[in-house]
Amino acid sequence: SDRLKGKRAFVTAAAVGIGRACAVAFAREGATVFATDIDEAKLAALKSEGIAEVARLDVRDSAAVAAIAKRAGTTDILLNAAGFVHHGTVLDCSDEDFDFSFDLNVKSMHRTIRAFLPGMLENGRGAIVNISSAAGVFKAAPNRYVYGATKAAVAALTRSVATDFIAKGIRCNCICPGTIETPSMLERAAAAGPNGREMFIARQPMGRLGTAEEIAALAIYLASDESAFTTGVAHVIDGGWTL
């Protein structure tokens, strides 16, 4: 339980789901964790989970991201979890929908990496973990037009950062989950109709949804020195969805 001992971690979209599970798991492994989200009420509950600091952060706000990075100080681990699933095809996706998805899912990571990387470079080390998706990177999913495009962009951005800073002690990896039981996933299932949950389970060959804790287990590995020889990789963890 000390795989991240002595490390400082910063997490976005940490109020629920994958971001929350990662923040809590990092703290359990000994990291000093700064957890952020736009949902302040749900964030507050994290304080009893060993999280050192919580604060409101809208990752769509460049000035706010820059300011909080200053406040956070030198950070060893940056976990970018913020993301939104737009439902529909190209015909359902307005210019506004497109821009919103790219802003929240991709540009948010550009903002946080630009804000935190200089401190990591000064320190000579850093691990960046971006939450992408199996959808978009390893397979196309129906009605995930702009979502898939954003997640493929996350994988590309991840490789670019990895290659540009590989000799400077910085590693950058992304995680590509399958169908994970989280609040927004359950909302998407409910919106799909009375059998929505079963439909989402049916696309997972293992016959069950993944858990946020299973994603956090991989995030710990990628954030820790155990993965020191791994960078720029899209790590699929999807219960066989892409088999």
Task: Write out the catalytic residue numbers.
Answer: 147
- ∠ CA 153-233-1 to the nearest 5 degrees? 120
Q: How far is the CB of 182 from ligand NAD (least distance, A)?
A: 3
230 phi and psi, to 5 degrees?
-120, 120
19 versus 119: smaller Cβ distance to ligand NAD: 19
CB 20 within 8 A of CB 47: no
Taking the complex as a whole, the smallest distance from the CB of residue 60 to ligand NAD amounts, in Å, to 5
Q: How far is 72 from 35, CA to CA, in rounded Å?
A: 10
Tell me how far CA of residue 22 lies from CA of 16, 164, 172, in angstroms.
Answer: 10, 26, 16
Residues that bind ligand NAD (CB under 6 A): 12-13, 15-19, 37-39, 57-60, 81-83, 85, 104, 131, 133, 177, 179-180, 182-185, 212
Q: Which is nearer to ligand NAD, 86 or 171 (CB)?
A: 86
Specify burial of residue 2 (Cβ count, 10 A radius: 0-12, 13-18, 19+): exposed
Which residue's beta carbon is nearest to the bound ligand NAD? 83
**What contacts 190, CB < 8 A, 6 or more positions away?**
196, 197
Min separation Cβ 131 and ligand NAD, Å: 4
Q: For residues 120 and 146, which CB has a smaller minimum distance to ligand NAD in the complex?
A: 146
Least Å distance, CB 101 to ligand NAD, is: 10
Q: In the complex with ligand NAD, which residue's Cβ is closer, 125 or 139?
A: 139
The one-character DSSP state at 56 is E
